[in-house]
Amino acid sequence: MTDPVPAVTVRRNRNALIIVIVLFFGGMLVAGILRFSGWRPHGMQNKGEMLQPYGDLRGYTPTLLDGTPYAWKDSPRTWRIVAMPEGCDGTRRAACARLLQDLDKVWRLMGRNADRVHVLWAGAPPVDVAPLREVRLVRVDDGLRAGLPRAQATPAGDPVWLVDPNGFVVLRYAPGADPGDLRTDLARLLRIN
């Protein structure tokens, strides 16, 4: 016959079990509350504005300035940075040149993933873009304007959009936004895609 377990030991074991259960399910409860409240860790937040609903350029085929079509599906897994500045051949030439320089810098900072990024510059370029192999000059038309949410320029500058490999416009960067924000979001997206 075995000796009965002392009541103190039973109570201690029961309390330990309750603490383990509370820690396990309490952690899941806190995680669920944070998840459904919309909270995200700082490193997981987008720097650009997540578009809801996404713009859709899948059915649209941009036309390059030389008249040839630019097909989305010809370059699988290629992200596009789209800029559609206005007045680059006139009074806003310096601002457009600065925007183009910032986009070129973002592209160069992509390093080995740079070949998976194209810059679509809609309209007249402010400078010669021949040395910038990532830039594709496209014509501005109603189809492009319709697919890019809130495409109006402001006195602060021109917005920039990030288009996924399928042709969905997923992020918008406000006029005058820091190009480092675009680089951060793009680097994260290139890692997961």
Q: Report the distance separating Cα 7 and Cα 13, nearest Å.
A: 10
Provide the whole-model pTM: 0.73
User: For residue 68, what are the CA distances in angstroms to 22, 104, 116, 146?
Assistant: 64, 23, 21, 21
Low-confidence ranges of the chain (pLDDT < 50): none
Burial of 187 (0-12, 13-18, 19+ CB in 10 A): middle
Encoded tokens for 100: 């183009």
- CB-based contact 78:186 (threshold 8 Å): no
Q: Report the distance separating Cα 192 and Cα 64, nearest Å.
A: 29
Q: What pLDDT does residue 21 have?
A: 92
